[in-house]
Amino acid sequence: MKLGKLPNKYLSKLLAKIPEYDSRIALGASLGEDAALVDMGGKYLVATTDPITFATDQIGWYAVNVNANDIATMGGIPKWMMANLLLPKNITENDIENIFTQLIDACTEFNINLIGGHTEITNTVNTPVLMGCMLGEVDKGKEIKSSGAIEEDSIIITKGIPIEGSAILALERESLLLSKNISQKNIDASKKLLKTPGISIVRDAQVAITTVQVHAMHDLTEGGLAQGLREIAQASNLGMQIFQDKIPMVECSKDFWISLDLNPLGVIASGSLIICVKDEDTSNVIKSLNSHGIEASKIGNMKKRGYGIKISSHGKDEDLPVFNQDEITKIFN
């Protein structure tokens, strides 16, 4: 099979086989949802897991951020984390200590307690692989699901795309980019995207949910914007219309996608958040995000299911592209 997430159609079949034995599961394994919800009385426990598999010297920092993002998109506050760390035989003690320092520092930034996990040296990996499990809380009635979008909702995106993919290429494939005549200035600027604006959407989500009633949120991971939009549409059983010229692009990496023949709509894009709200609430959300230093743009609207999932450019509607694997995996194959 191809690298990356399992295809949605195949994954849906697998998820349908999972039984539920506990009535406290308010939201279990579901396509397009960022986390599970378990009834704990006055609150829901929010639970998620995400791995970091791309080679990176910031693996611990990545793991905390992407897992915290999943908790935040459900309207929750990230609280506790466990980390399962698989390490290659050639790893050094200094490398291991760096990963632990990254985990601890990133958890401290979000007031998350690192409560345990597992570490192992194994022949099965060539580079470190970190699988995070994060738990959080949300008050009942304040939870937000990807499936909560409503017809005619505005679709808002924070920042530009693809922040994470741009940073990964600049950090991990600098020589390739230079060979494609990408300027050192743009490569260096793209490296900085990892921390500024960064791949966290925790603050984006918290600003949005304290401004208006948010119907749905979803962060952009593997598969990028196209995958994230499709997952919201499928989870909500709706269609959508996206306007190509309204999608904000990271300026310093625009040349990457042309030179490498990659479609940025399908590139891993942590750092941006999709927010669905009533159309009349759009300006309030964008103004509030802007006032907190977070760029935001309306890029489309939710439609009836029969409309399909469309992207509009120059007055012409086409189906939103489907990517069977994240575009960036073509470079890491």
Indicate the domain borders of the chain: 23-139, 146-332
Mean pLDDT calculated for residue range 88-115: 96
Query: What pLDDT does 177 receive?
Result: 97
pLDDT at 41 over 80: yes
Predicted confidence (pLDDT) per residue in 256-289, tens digit: 999 999 999 999 999 999 999 999 999 999 999 9
Structure tokens, 148: 């909560």
Distance CA 273, CA 207 (A): 12
pLDDT band at 333 (very low <50, low <70, confident <90, very high): confident
Nearest to 194 by CA among 284, 87, 69, 65: 65
pLDDT band at 124 (very low <50, low <70, confident <90, very high): very high
- Give, for 2, the enclosing helix (H) or strand (E): none
Distance CA 216, CA 171 (A): 32
Query: What pLDDT does 282 receive?
Result: 98
Query: What pLDDT does 218 receive?
Result: 95
- Give, for 174, the enclosing helix (H) or strand (E): helix 174-179
CA 192 to chain centre: 18
CA 41 to chain centre: 29
Which has more confidence, 251 or 172?
A: 251
Query: What pLDDT does 140 receive?
Result: 95
Topology of domain 146-332 in CATH is: Phosphoribosyl-aminoimidazole Synthetase; Chain A, domain 2 (3.90.650)
161 secondary structure, DSSP code: B
Contact 166, 190 (CB under 8 A): yes
Distance CA 176, CA 261 (A): 13
Query: What pLDDT does 112 receive?
Result: 98
pLDDT at 55 over 70: no
Residue in the block written with tokens 């699901």: 145
Query: What pLDDT does 52 receive?
Result: 86
Contact 158, 294 (CB under 8 A): yes
Topology of domain 23-139 in CATH is: 60s Ribosomal Protein L30; Chain: A; (3.30.1330)
Structure tokens, 12: 């849906």
Query: What pLDDT does 300 receive?
Result: 98
Compute, in degrees rounded to 10, the torsion defined by CA atoms 78, 84, 89, 93. Answer: 50
Amino acid at 25: I
85 secondary structure, DSSP code: E
Mean pLDDT calculated for residue range 215-233: 94
Report percent pLDDT > 70 for the chain.
Answer: 99
Give the range among 54-63, 167-176, 263-272, 294-303 with minimum mean pLDDT.
54-63
pLDDT at 202 over 70: yes
Nearest to 144 by CA among 68, 71, 201, 234: 71
Report in angstroms the alpha-carbon separations of 26 from 73, 260, 262: 16, 43, 39
Structure tokens, 237: 């059983």
Rounded to the nearest integer, the mean pLDDT of the chain is 94
Distance CA 148, CA 307 (A): 18
Mean pLDDT calculated for residue range 194-199: 92
Other beta carbons within 10 Å of 90: 9
Structure tokens, 296: 């935001």
Residues 6+ apart with CB under 8 A from 193: 163, 164, 166, 167, 170, 250, 252, 253, 271
pLDDT at 4 over 80: no
Structure tokens, 305: 């299911």
Mean pLDDT calculated for residue range 185-202: 95
Query: What pLDDT does 135 receive?
Result: 98
Distance CA 121, CA 99 (A): 14
Mean pLDDT calculated for residue range 10-19: 86
> Which ranges in the chain belong to alpha helices (H)?
8-15, 59-73, 93-109, 163-172, 174-179, 184-191, 202-209, 224-236, 254-260, 282-291, 329-332
pLDDT band at 201 (very low <50, low <70, confident <90, very high): very high
> What are the φ and ψ backbone dihedral angles of 20, each rounded to 5 degrees?
-120, 125
Segment of 30-34, 36-40, 219-223 carrying the highest mean pLDDT: 36-40
Report percent pLDDT > 90 for the chain.
Answer: 84
Query: What pLDDT does 32 receive?
Result: 78
Query: What pLDDT does 2 receive?
Result: 74
Burial readout 177-190 (b: 16 or more C-beta within 10 A, e: otherwise)? beeeebeeebbebb
